[in-house]
Copies of this chain bind each other. A is one copy, B any other.
Amino acid sequence: MCAKAVNARNSDDMDTREQLLKAAGDLMVERNSVNVSFSDIAQKSGVNAALIKYYFGNKSGMLLELVRKVVRTSVLQMDDLLKMQLPPEDKLRIHIHGIVNTYFRYPYINRLLHYILSLDEGDYGVIIADEVMKPLATAQRGILEEGVAAGIFRPVDPMLFYFHLIGACDHLFYARKALKFAFGVTEVTDDLKSRYAKHLHDLMINGLLTHGRSD
C-alpha cells in the first residue's frame, strides 16, 4: 500500500470515529440521558454496529473517547489560563464561564463522567480522574492559592470548593426538568446560561474576597 493510500485510510478512519462520537453525543442530548447502545449509535450514524466495536473495542472505550473529545480543549485552556498574568478573581471568573459553557454545549458530560466512574470497570475510574477531575481540581487550587498569597482571597478547602463549584455549574443543566416544572422555563437559552455563570462567579468570588466587593 502506498503512503497516500495509508493516509487516506487513516483520514477515513478519523472521520468515521468522529462521526460515531458525534452521533453518541447527539443522542445523549436528545434523550437527556447517557444510556445509549451501540445499536442506537449505529442507527443514528448509519455505521454498522460491528464497526463501532472495531473502532472502540467496547462501549466503555467509546464513552471514554467521547469524554476526551469533549474535555480536551477545555483542559488545555485551563492550563493556559493558569499561566496568564491576570488577577486571581479574573482567572476564577473565566474558569467558571468556561465550565458553564462546556456544560451548556455538552449537557450530558457530567452524567457521562459519573456513569463511567460508576462502572468500576478496569482502569476507567483512574483514567477519568487523571485526565478530567484532577486537572480541574489542580487549576482551581492554583487560582485559590494565588488569591490567598495575594491577600485577596480567604483560605478555603480546595476539595470542598471543587464539589461546590462543579455541582453548582452543572445543576442548571442536570435539572432541566425541574426548571420546567418548578419555574416554567422550558429551555436553557444562551442568555440564561450567561446569567447563571455571572450569578455563580459573583456570589462565589464575593464569598472568597477578604475585603470589598467585585461589583
The residues of A with any CB-CB pair to B shorter than 8 Å are 32-33, 113-114, 117-118, 125-126, 128-129, 133-134, 137, 156-157, 159-172, 174-175, 177-183, 185, 195-196, 199-200, 202-208
CB-CB under 8 A from A118, the residues of chain B are 32-33, 177
Contact B157 A163 (CB under 8 A): no
User: Is B208 touching A178 in the complex (CB atoms < 8 A)?
Assistant: no
Q: 6 more A-B contacts (CB under 8 A) besides A114-B174, A156-B202, A163-B175?
A: A128-B181, A159-B183, A159-B185, A163-B171, A167-B174, A167-B175
Pick the contact of A137 from B134, B161, B183 — CB < 8 Å?
A: B183
The number of times this chain is found in the oligomer is 2
Q: A114-B177, A117-B181, A181-B133 are in contact. Are A199 and B168 (CB under 8 A)?
A: no
Q: Known interface pairs A156-B199, A160-B199. Does A172 touch B178 (Cβ–Cβ under 8 Å)?
A: no
Residues in B whose Cβ lies below 8 Å from that of A160: 172, 195-196, 199-200
Q: Shortest CB–CB separation between residue A115 and chain B, in angstroms?
A: 10
21 A–B contacts from the bound complex (CB under 8 Å): A114-B175, A114-B178, A117-B177, A125-B181, A133-B181, A160-B196, A160-B199, A162-B183, A163-B171, A163-B172, A163-B175, A163-B179, A164-B200, A165-B168, A166-B171, A167-B175, A202-B207, A204-B207, A206-B206, A206-B208, A207-B207
Give A5 to B160 CA distance when docked, in angstroms. 54
A105–chain B nearest beta-carbon distance, Å: 18
Complex-state Cα separation, A57 to B181, whole angstroms:
24
Contacts of A185 on B, CB cut-off 8 Å?
Answer: 159
Within the complex, the shortest CB–CB distance from A209 to chain B, in Å, comes to: 8
Contact (Cβ within 8 A) A182 B134: yes
